[in-house]
Structure 1
Amino acid sequence: MSKFEPSPSTTGIMIELPDAKLQYLPQWVETNVADLWLRELSQQTPWSQPQIKLYGRSIAVPRLVAWYGDVEASYRYSGLLHEPLPWTQLLTEIRERVQQQVAQMLNGVLLNLYRDGDDAMGWHSDDEPELGQQPLVASLNLGAARRFDFRRKGGSRIEHSIVLEHGSLLVMSGPTQHHWQHQIARSRKVSEPRLNLTFRQIIREPIV
C-alpha cells in the first residue's frame, strides 16, 4: 500500500479522451507560492540548451532544460543521455507535494524553460522504456499560460487542447503515452516565460 494519500479536495478535472487518463488541477498551488517558485527556479537552475540531430543536422532545442533526480535516475530521450543533478531543497519540497498528490514515488524531474512564445516542444510521447509500462508524468506549470495539444499517435489532427495556467498541475497516467502525443506549439501571443516541471519515475531493470 502506498504511503501517499491524495487529498479529496484536490481531485481536479478529469479530461475525457479515449485510451487516456488525464487529470487537470488548476490553481493547484497558491499564486504567491507559484510566483516564488518561478522566480527562484528560473534564477537558480543551471540551464543548458542541448543540441539534437534532426535530418542529419545538429540544432539547439528551442527551450532551456535541466534534469534533476536520484543518483540512479539517468534518463535518455531525444537521443541524449541526461545524468541527474542532485535535488535542491526547493525541488525536494515540490517533489514531496507532487508525490502526495499523485500517491506515487517520483525520482526525477525535467525542467523546461520556455523564454517566450518562440520556444516550443514538438510532438512526442513520454514512452521511453525506463518509464515503465504505464508511465505517470506530473506536469507543474509556472508562468505564462501555454496551450497544450493532444493528437493520436499516427494521426495529424489535434484532438484536444488545454491551456495550462500558472500554478496548475496536469497528471498523465495509464495508457496515455502509448496512444497519444502532445506538444507546446509556438505562439506569437506569448511574450512572458513559462517554466514547466515534469516529474516521473525512472525504472531500472535489475542486473542479473
Structure 2
Amino acid sequence: MPKINGNEIRPGNVLEHNGGLWAAVKVDHVKPGKGGAFAQVEMRNLRNGSKLNERFRSADKVERVRLEQKDQQFLYQEGENLVFMDTETYEQIELPAEILGERRPFLQDGMTITVEFHDSEALNATLPQKVTCKIAETEPVVKGQTAANSFKPAILENGVKVMVPPFVGQNEDIIVNTETMEYAERA
C-alpha cells in the first residue's frame, strides 16, 4: 500500500492508522505563526464508526488504503441481514442492514448499490444518489400557492419524512437525494 505525506490527506481518503481503517471526513490545513504546518484530520473508523481527531505534520508518513468497489444488486432481506448479488460473478453475499445506516429505507428491490471492500471485508455501502419514491401522505395541494421557499412535510411509502414543495400532492412520485435525504425534483 502506498504511503503518503501528512499534508496530502484529502477528505474521503481511507488511511491505516493505529491498527485500524479510518476514513478522513474533514481536513484542515493549519499554518501557525510559529512552528511547522500541519493537517488537522477528523477521521471515522470504518469498522465501528468511532471518531478521532489527529494531527499530521507534512513529514509524517501515513498508509493510504485503496478500497475495491463492486456493484452489488439487492435481492432480499433475511432477518437483520441484506442479501446482495455481485453483478459480474453472480456470487451472493450477506451484509448487516446497519451498513446502510439511516439510508436503509431507500433500498429498493433489484437496486444496484456500490459496496467497498478491503480484502474480502465489506466496509461501506453507497446507494445511488437519486431514488424515486412515492408520497404516502401530505397536505392537499392548495391552488394559487407559489413555490417561493415554502415547504410542507410529507411521509414517503418507506416511512421517511421529507419536506416537499406545496405543489406536490399525495400518491405522486418524487426523486429524493439519498446523500442529503431531501426532495430533489418531481419524477
Considering the TM-score relative to the shorter chain, is it more than 0.5? no
Which structure shows the higher helix fraction? 1
| TM-score (normalised: structure 2) | 0.23
| TM-score (normalised: structure 1) | 0.21
Which structure shows the higher strand fraction? 2
Structure number with greater Rg is 2
